[in-house]
Amino acid sequence: MNINQLLFLKYFQKKQRKQSNNFINFDKVKKILLLGDMKCFENRELNEIVSRYEAVGKQVKTLIYTDRAYFPKEISQKVWNKNLFSKREVNLFGRPKAKILNDIAVQDFDLLVDLSVVPSLPAMYVIAAVNATCKIGLKELDVPLYNLIIDVNSSKNSGNDLKLITVFEKIDYYLKKIN
């Protein structure tokens, strides 16, 4: 374990004492945060998913991270209610700047969905900082960040790309089954 991971574990332990995470029924979800890397937000299915949730009265916010120094213009000019942060807003130890973490920590979300398939330390900091009733992820991590983990192996197409529609159908299914 390196120094970056040790610093994250300390941060995570402090945050976990302040948050109580539970499951939530889909009908009670009002505010959703979608977190992911640039690749998953380039996926065309995401527009349809955001539109579906907004059509049933859910407020959707996105937070996109890239390990590049800058976002391409076509990504930063999309019309979503989103926030972007890049490698420039992350310190040497992999922790996003205080402004990013504080901005996200003061908001309450019913549901956080981490769409990242590859673990990223900056995303893990955001997940730990977010005050969400239920946190859902697509991968299993060494640190218990999620309340629910969705198996994505069955949600990939022939090109091994993630089919987000299938993932969100699974999420909806499980959340509707909860009392």
pLDDT tens digits, one per residue of 125-143: 999 999 999 999 887 666 7
pTM beyond 0.75 = yes
Structure tokens at 83: 């926030």
Domains of the chain (ranges, CATH numbers): 3-177 (3.40.50)
**Residue length of the chain:** 179
Model confidence band, residue 79 (pLDDT cutoffs 50, 70, 90) = very low
DSSP state of 95: P
- Of 77, 39, 54, 65, the C-alpha closest to 126 is 65
Separation between Cα atoms, residue 124 and residue 42, nearest integer Å: 21
DSSP state of 21: -
**Who's near 116: CB < 8 A, 6+ residues apart?**
35, 36, 37, 40, 65, 123, 137, 138, 139
Q: Is the pLDDT of residue 77 over 70?
A: no
Q: How far is CA 41 from the centre of its chain?
A: 11
- Weakest mean pLDDT among 12-21, 62-71, 105-114: 12-21
Separation between Cα atoms, residue 138 and residue 148, nearest integer Å: 9
User: Is residue 130 exposed (0-12), middle (13-18) or buried (19+ Cβ within 10 Å)?
Assistant: buried
